């Protein structure tokens, strides 16, 4: 019987392999030209509609796949062209695409259209505003191979899930997976499904910060497509293609997940939704692993991880705010808590004691690469724990592990934090003015803490009292039940008391009742406190602390609690899950449906508060444009790919002339000559920026030659990158060498025995 099952499983694997091999060649097919339009040929075919000319191309037949529309234009000020691929008779799910507006200076544009069923008569429609059709140099429609990549990816995903379930069932029948583990797996899977409910639709919901993070994803994708080098420091595409150094200040390591999905062919909306699924799965898996490592009880760890996943503030970050950075940071906070707990509770003489620091290392590293402000809050709470338990902190073994963890974190992440610190001191940004603002009135009211029903709320962050910024009625009930039980029976323990105390402290810090304005005026810590912008960010710490408490409270009740307390825990879980159901249902059906398939029609000025724009740059006066030269200076052969520019310069005067290039003048740009006539001095970047903060190039007298402008950063950046890379190689090598040594020692011991 077992032999027959094994044979059937091997046959299934062979069938899967054959399917993959059959799909693979299609992924490397050349793009097929489906239609081509020249602006000079369509003047007589346009019709006037109100104040613009409209052109509709020939009907073409499209089969399922991903199609790319490439547009080349020459537009002047106040001119624009709107391009869209349409099919009037298609049912909704067969044809996915958005139109794109093209403005002056944006000479080349491409965007995708996604066809899910046969479309027999699609066509391109162009609307010309204040311009003749000759401004449309060329428009091409290509059938790409990305649809095949998507099909291959989905096939591999389905096969992987199928193989996992088969192996999971086999291990259950073999008695290798206990009933407890089965309960944990299916409960966590149901929890993820519940938390992901708003995105189990064909549309999605835009939170207050969603457009900012979508633009980060689009900017990173565009930079890589334009040949940008790693690590990306300045993302192209932003601010009318002037570029934005968001990557220097805001870690984008995990954004490579949606970028990868975009590259293989998924639509913009689908890539983002799959990215959110990854965040939810990673959150609950890491939370369960961390809590189980601390509690040594599967159901306690399950309770804690479910509370963490469905916490109203967590769902609020994921959907209501669209706060991708904080949502990513919440993945790793349980690791930090686990590492701190183990270092302070385990015996310092145990063989595994030194390994506990790695929870802190990878936890804080993940937070740093996700969200700098969450890093600040995490460090503050870690410092508070170290201060409260100073006796254990100052134990030689514990202190050394904390010191080693801090050093490793700094070295591993040097490639990110060192450029950030350098750039913060190299220039003045809008961020500095934001950190000087008062935040007292941006904390939440008591009514928000006691709010019973979370909902989709308002997307306007000035209306905190109308948003579900809360720990939730279920979590508050759990804390109060414990306090009442402990006061009445004295059966609580010091660990639960500590977690409850820290939880209430984090909740209090999220309110407007803490004198935040007075704290903001303190030297040293004032700017750090004000940089949080919203005191209610501290609810992220409350969320992880309450979740950790929930698991340990369960253990305490299991050990000595009465039936009433157990019943209260059951009621708590019913309330908690019910509130989560209400919350996600409110988002899925109460929010406006948005269909965003391509990033190109999303705009380029979604910079939030423009924290990372140099101070004084008028971002709302910017526009697409070519280089601007002073009299006597001419440029030609201009080519701009992302933040890299090539052009030929000729200064026919006897004085230095200046050229303004459409790039924001961040410190770190470099200009290099590719050969000039007569051995003249080379152009250089001036300290002063040009109009709208544009990069300003000084071109010496009588100069004639080709130049390249690119972002190089500071030599320290490259040193930091090498240090981080070498440290990671050393850590990985030490891990595998140690594992190999332990395996060899184990084999020798077995042989001797």
Question: What predicted TM-score, i.e. pTM, was given to this entire model?
Answer: 0.94
Q: Do residues 540 and 442 touch, judged by C-beta distance below 8 A?
A: no
What is the arithmetic mean of pLDDT over 169-198?
94
What is the arithmetic mean of pLDDT over 104-121?
88
What is the arithmetic mean of pLDDT over 341-368?
94
Q: Do residues 184 and 575 touch, judged by C-beta distance below 8 A?
A: no
Q: What is the pLDDT of residues 19-54, one digit of tens each?
A: 999 999 999 999 999 999 998 889 888 998 888 999
- Distance, CA of 672 to CA of 682 (rounded, Å): 8
What is the arithmetic mean of pLDDT over 701-718?
92
Q: Do residues 565 and 496 touch, judged by C-beta distance below 8 A?
A: no
**Taking Cα atoms as reference points, which of 554, 490, 505 lies closest to residue 294?**
554
Q: Do residues 569 and 300 touch, judged by C-beta distance below 8 A?
A: no
Query: pLDDT-derived band of residue 462, with 50, 70 and 90 as boundaries?
Result: very low
Percent of the chain with pLDDT over 90: 60
Dig out the tokens for 180 from the structure: 């407890």
- Distance, CA of 158 to CA of 636 (rounded, Å): 52
**pLDDT at residue 266, as a whole number:** 95
- Distance, CA of 733 to CA of 455 (rounded, Å): 48
* pLDDT of 68 above 50: yes
Percent of the chain with pLDDT over 70: 94
**pLDDT at residue 443, as a whole number:** 82
Measure CA of the first residue to CA of the last residue in the chain; give whole Å: 36
**pLDDT at residue 550, as a whole number:** 94
Please tell me whether residue 459 adopts helix, strand or coil conformation: coil
Backbone angles phi, psi at 174, to 5 degrees: -85, 0
**Taking Cα atoms as reference points, which of 472, 590, 597, 471 lies closest to residue 542?**
471
Task: Please spell the DSSP secondary structure of 153-183, one letter per residue.
Answer: HHHHHHHHHHHHHHHHHHHHHTT-S-HHHHH
**Average confidence score pLDDT of the chain:** 89
Please tell me which residue, 534 or 260, carries the higher pLDDT value. Answer: 260
90 contacts: CB under 8 Å, gap ≥ 6: 119, 122
44 contacts: CB under 8 Å, gap ≥ 6: none
- Distance, CA of 15 to CA of 5 (rounded, Å): 15
* pLDDT of 156 above 70: yes
CB atoms within 10 A of CB 141: 22
DSSP β-bridge partners for residue 67 = 113, 143
What is the arithmetic mean of pLDDT over 352-360?
94
Task: Please spell the DSSP secondary structure of 373-430, one letter per residue.
Answer: HHHHHHHHHHHHHHHHTHHHHTSHHHHHHHHHHHHHHHHHTHHHHHHHHHHHHHS-BH
Cis peptide before 231 (omega within 30 of 0): yes
Sheet with 65-73, edge to edge strand ranges: 32-37, 136-143, 65-73, 108-115, 95-96
* pLDDT of 459 above 50: no
Dig out the tokens for 350 from the structure: 């145990």
- Distance, CA of 406 to CA of 398 (rounded, Å): 12
Q: What is the pLDDT of residues 584-638, one digit of tens each?
A: 998 888 777 888 998 887 888 888 888 899 998 998 888 888 899 999 999 999 9
What is the arithmetic mean of pLDDT over 116-132?
91
**pLDDT at residue 559, as a whole number:** 85
* pLDDT of 186 above 90: yes
- Distance, CA of 146 to CA of 148 (rounded, Å): 5
585 contacts: CB under 8 Å, gap ≥ 6: 197
What is the arithmetic mean of pLDDT over 714-726?
95
**Among the listed ranges 182-191, 230-239, 481-490, 707-716, which one has the minimum average pLDDT value?**
481-490
Q: What is the pLDDT of residues 663-692, one digit of tens each?
A: 999 999 999 887 655 556 889 999 999 988
**pLDDT at residue 1, as a whole number:** 53
Backbone angles phi, psi at 184, to 5 degrees: -60, -50
**pLDDT at residue 4, as a whole number:** 65
* pLDDT of 507 above 70: yes
Query: pLDDT-derived band of residue 573, with 50, 70 and 90 as boundaries?
Result: confident
**pLDDT at residue 91, as a whole number:** 59
**pLDDT at residue 463, as a whole number:** 42
What is the arithmetic mean of pLDDT over 493-499?
92
* pLDDT of 446 above 90: no
CB atoms within 10 A of CB 121: 14
């Amino acid at each position: 019987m077992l032999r027959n099952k094994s044979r059937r499983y091997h046959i299934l694997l062979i069938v899967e392999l054959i399917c993959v091999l059959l799909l693979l060649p299609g992924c490397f097919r050349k793009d097929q030209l489906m239609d081509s339009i020249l602006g000079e040929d369509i003047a007589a075919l346009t019709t006037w509609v109100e104040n613009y000319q409209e052109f509709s191309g020939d009907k073409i037949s499209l089969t399922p796949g991903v199609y790319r529309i490439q547009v080349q234009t020459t537009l002047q000020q106040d001119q624009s062209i709107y391009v869209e691929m349409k099919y009037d008779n298609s049912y909704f799910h067969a044809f996915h695409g958005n139109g794109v507006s093209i403005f002056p200076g944006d000479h080349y544009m491409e965007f995708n259209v996604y066809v899910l069923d046969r479309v027999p008569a699609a066509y391109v429609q162009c609307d010309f505003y204040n311009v003749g059709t000759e401004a449309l140099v060329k428009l091409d429609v290509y059938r790409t191979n990305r649809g095949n990549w998507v099909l291959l990816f989905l096939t591999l995903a389905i096969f992987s899930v199928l193989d996992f379930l088969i192996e999971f069932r086999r291990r259950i029948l073999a008695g290798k997976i206990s009933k407890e583990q089965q309960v944990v797996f299916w409960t966590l899977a149901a929890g993820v499904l519940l938390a992901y409910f708003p995105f189990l639709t064909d549309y999605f919901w835009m939170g207050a910060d969603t457009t900012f993070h979508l633009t980060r994803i689009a900017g990173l994708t565009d930079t890589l497509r334009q040949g940008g080098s790693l690590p990306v420091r300045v993302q192209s595409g932003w601010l009318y293609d002037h570029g934005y150094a968001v990557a220097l200040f805001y870690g984008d390591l995990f954004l490579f997940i949606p970028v990868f999905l975009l590259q293989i062919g998924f639509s913009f909306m689908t890539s983002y939704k799959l990215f959110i699924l990854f965040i939810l799965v990673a959150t609950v898996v890491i939370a369960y692993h961390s809590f189980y490592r601390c509690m040594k009880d599967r159901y306690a760890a399950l309770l804690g991880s479910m509370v963490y996943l469905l916490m109203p503030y967590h769902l609020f970050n994921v959907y209501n705010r669209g706060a991708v950075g904080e949502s990513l940071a919440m993945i790793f906070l349980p690791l930090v808590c686990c590492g701190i707990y183990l270092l302070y509770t385990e015996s310092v003489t145990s063989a595994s004691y030194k390994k506990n620091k790695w929870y802190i290392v990878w936890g804080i590293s993940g937070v740093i690469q996700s969200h700098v402000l969450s890093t600040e809050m995490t460090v503050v709470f870690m410092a508070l724990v170290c201060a409260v338990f100073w006796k254990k902190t100052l134990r030689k073994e514990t202190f050394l592990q904390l010191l080693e963890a801090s050093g490793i974190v700094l070295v591993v992440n040097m490639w990110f934090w060192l450029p950030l610190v350098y750039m913060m001191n190299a220039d003045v940004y809008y961020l500095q003015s934001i950190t000087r603002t008062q935040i007292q009135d941006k904390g939440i009211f008591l009514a928000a803490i006691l709010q019973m029903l979370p909902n989709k709320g308002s997307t306007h962050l000035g209306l905190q009292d109308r948003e579900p910024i809360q720990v939730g009625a279920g979590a508050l009930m759990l804390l109060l039940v414990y306090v009442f039980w402990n006061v009445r029976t004295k059966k609580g323990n010091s660990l639960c008391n500590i977690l409850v105390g820290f939880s209430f402290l984090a909740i209090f810090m999220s309110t407007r009742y803490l004198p935040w304005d007075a704290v903001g005026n303190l030297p040293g810590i004032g700017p750090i406190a004000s940089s949080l912008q919203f005191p209610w960010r501290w609810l992220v710490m409350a969320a992880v602390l309450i979740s950790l408490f929930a698991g340990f409270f369960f253990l305490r009740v299991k050990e000595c609690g009465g039936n009433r307390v157990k019943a209260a825990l059951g009621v708590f879980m019913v309330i908690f899950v019910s509130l989560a159901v209400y919350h996600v249902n409110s988002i899925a059906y109460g929010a406006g449906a948005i269909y965003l398939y391509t990033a190109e029609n999303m705009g380029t000025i979604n910079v939030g508060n423009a924290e990372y724009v140099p101070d004084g740059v008028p971002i709302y006066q910017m526009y697409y444009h070519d280089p601007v030269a002073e009299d006597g200076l001419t440029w030609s052969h201009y080519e701009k790919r992302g933040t890299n520019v090539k052009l030929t310069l000729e200064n026919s005067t006897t004085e230095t002339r200046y050229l303004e290039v459409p790039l924001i003048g961040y410190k770190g740009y470099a200009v290099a000559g590719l050969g000039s006539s007569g051995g003249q001095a080379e152009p250089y970047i001036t300290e002063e920026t040009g109009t709208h903060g544009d990069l300003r190039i000084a071109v010496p007298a009588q100069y004639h030659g080709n130049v390249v402008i690119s972002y190089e950063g500071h030599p320290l950046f490259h040193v930091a990158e090498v240090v981080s890379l070498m440290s990671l190689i050393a850590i990985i090598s030490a891990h595998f060498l140690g594992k190999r040594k332990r395996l060899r020692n184990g084999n020798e011991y077995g042989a001797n025995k």
